[in-house]
Amino acid sequence: MTDRNLELFERAKRLIPGGVNSPVRAFRAVGGTPRFVQRAQGAYFWDANGKRHIDYIGSWGPMILGHGHPAVLEAVQKAALDGFSFGAPTEREVELAQAIVDLVPSIDMVRLVSSGTEAGMSTIRLARGATGRKKIIKFEGCYHGHADALLVKAGSGLATFGNPTSAGVPPEVVQHTLVLEYNNIVQLEAAFDAHGADIACLMIEPIAGNMNFVRASVPFMKRCRELCTQHGALLAFDEVMTGFRVALGGAQSVYARLIPGFEPDMTVMGKVIGGGMPLAAFGAKRAVMEQLAPLGPVYQAGTLSGNPVATACGLATLAEIRKPGFFEALSARTRALVDGLQAAANGARVPFSVDCEGGMFGFFLLPELPQHYQAVMASDGQRFNQLFHGLLDRGVYIAPALYEAGFVSAAHTQADIDDTVAAAAEVFRSLAQG
Ligand SMILES: *Cc1c(COP(=O)(O)O)cnc(C)c1O
């Protein structure tokens, strides 16, 4: 039988660098041939060989309803008939802005853009413009899109300015980016002690999904808030992944339940709000957002921003997840998955730990949940790859890298979860044998 995935990959590699339009799709971490998706429906996609997979990536988060939800399809089809793009404002942009402001109390105003990268980059510019300061704080293992100033890893020594993680980023461009260890209060305090008056914003994934799944501890988050307030820096939550995914009000609503009165100053959004279409946003209180052009001096623009088809898709998606009981059901399903995986690993005596919130989860081939990037990367990569390929062979598609989170959709049934856990149990047994 010819392998259509392999054929397409060989062709793609001649035409597209690495054969893919975003690096992690290339399976470089796990080896093997990427699955080219032919079509998807509900919790499944079919690859180019016609093989069905239970999908725990869901486009890296956006497909919270599963693929091809009828109400979303209808909204998108209707919007497409009325026009693809106008370069002039539309009613749906106002409706989507309203929905975001209603769901996220820390936000008074939003600007719509087309990707999380754009939203993160614009948030940094706005924070610098609004505060008149240069420096930003980020944490190792958090991803905020591929803007130059954010492609940076920790330098040697504590609380130093970082080194670029990509060629093509001059060191001067990241000289104002401080890179700290996630969940490390001592480093955080030292950074504010040394640079407090120059820090425009602290950007953080409140529940980090780009180093698998690592929560900011409550004391750490409290300290982030206190230090930002004390030094006049803006606390920017990157909720591109967690927004409308871990809870209707995002990760900030989770922390607000744990820390009375808690709110970030700025929020970066994407993924779920576009429902699978290119759409992202950033928002903050009115005084900050009014610094943006055309009202204020901070420039930001986009030809396709607030795209009418994308906003229709996003609005239809938000309408579904706002229905009573949606997140309770999604959370229960996700919890059933991670509990099942944990039990299967325990049964095979494979060291394993899990965590989840709403429809987002992570698991580690480690006996305890890691608290920061270095600990995540101490995972056994080879065993992860065996687990990945074992699941893939059995028609279960998880992220092809141990530092990525997973996603459950409303379309995943208990039977899908049961099949996944049964497949994992087989793979764990083979891992335990050698
Ligand atoms: C996906 C992601 C981004 C980047 O979004 P793109 O739409 O891929 O540019 C930024 N921040 C976080 C937390 C993300 O998960």
Under DSSP, the state recorded for 305 is T
Nearest CA to ligand 1 atom 5: 116
Q: Output 363-370 pairs: Cβ under 8 A, ≥24 positions apart.
A: 363/212, 363/213, 363/338, 363/406, 364/212, 364/402, 365/402, 369/214, 370/212, 370/214
Q: Along the 434 residues of the chain, how does pLDDT read in single tens digits?
A: 799 999 999 999 999 999 999 999 999 999 999 999 999 999 999 999 999 999 999 999 999 999 999 999 999 999 999 999 999 999 999 999 999 999 999 999 999 999 999 999 999 999 999 999 999 999 999 999 999 999 998 765 544 577 899 999 999 999 999 999 999 999 999 999 999 999 999 999 999 999 999 999 999 999 999 999 999 999 999 999 999 999 999 999 999 999 999 999 999 999 999 999 999 999 999 999 999 999 999 999 999 999 999 999 999 999 999 999 999 999 999 999 999 999 999 999 999 999 999 999 999 999 999 999 999 999 889 999 999 999 999 999 999 999 999 999 999 999 999 999 999 999 999 998 86
pLDDT at site 159: 47
Ligand 1 atom closest to the CA of 22, numbered from 1: 8
Q: Output 351-354 pairs: Cβ under 8 A, ≥24 positions apart.
A: 352/428
Pocket test residue of 241, 373, 403 for ligand 1, highest count of atoms within 8 A of CB: 241
Q: What's the number of CA atoms in the CB half-sphere (13 Å) around residue 65?
A: 23
**Catalytic residue list contains 138:** no
**Catalytic residue list contains 238:** yes
**Catalytic residue list contains 148:** no
pLDDT at site 332: 98
Ligand 1 atom closest to the CA of 208, numbered from 1: 13
For ligand 1, the distance from its centroid to the CA atom of residue 273, given in whole angstroms, is 12
- What lies within 8 Å, CB to CB, of 349 at 6+ separation is 432
For ligand 1, the distance from its centroid to the CA atom of residue 319, given in whole angstroms, is 22
The residue length of the chain stands at 434
Pocket test residue of 25, 123, 240 for ligand 1, highest count of atoms within 8 A of CB: 240
For ligand 1, the distance from its centroid to the CA atom of residue 213, given in whole angstroms, is 15
Q: Which of 56, 143, 182, 397 is catalytic?
A: 143
pLDDT at site 162: 77
pLDDT at site 160: 58
Pocket test residue of 25, 59, 63, 210 for ligand 1, highest count of atoms within 8 A of CB: 210
For ligand 1, the distance from its centroid to the CA atom of residue 385, given in whole angstroms, is 24
For ligand 1, the distance from its centroid to the CA atom of residue 429, given in whole angstroms, is 35
Ligand 1 atom closest to the CA of 241, numbered from 1: 15
Taking the C-alpha atoms of residue 242 and residue 232, their distance in angstroms, rounded to an integer, is 25
pLDDT in tens, 357-399: 999 999 999 999 999 999 999 988 999 999 999 999 999 999 9
pLDDT at site 140: 95
Q: Which of 44, 271, 403, 416 is catalytic?
A: 271
For ligand 1, the distance from its centroid to the CA atom of residue 191, given in whole angstroms, is 25
Q: Give the DSSP per-residue string, 26-39.
A: G-TTT-SPPPPEEE
pLDDT at site 156: 58
- Residue located via tokens 């609004």: 130
Tokens at 42, concatenated: 């509900």
Query: pTM of this prediction?
Result: 0.97
pLDDT at site 172: 92
Q: Which of 238, 255, 373, 416 is catalytic?
A: 238
Pocket test residue of 63, 266, 271 for ligand 1, highest count of atoms within 8 A of CB: 271
Taking the C-alpha atoms of residue 76 and residue 174, their distance in angstroms, rounded to an integer, is 40
C-alpha torsion sign, points 79, 81, 84, 90: negative
> Pocket residues for ligand 1 (CB within 6 Å)?
115-117, 120, 143-145, 205, 209-210, 238, 240-241, 270, 280
- Residue located via tokens 């623009």: 301
For ligand 1, the distance from its centroid to the CA atom of residue 117, given in whole angstroms, is 6
Taking the C-alpha atoms of residue 357 and residue 242, their distance in angstroms, rounded to an integer, is 9
Ligand 1 atom closest to the CA of 209, numbered from 1: 15
- What lies within 8 Å, CB to CB, of 380 at 6+ separation is 365
Look at strands 163-164 and 214-215 and give their pairing: unpaired
| H or E, element range at 361 | strand 360-364
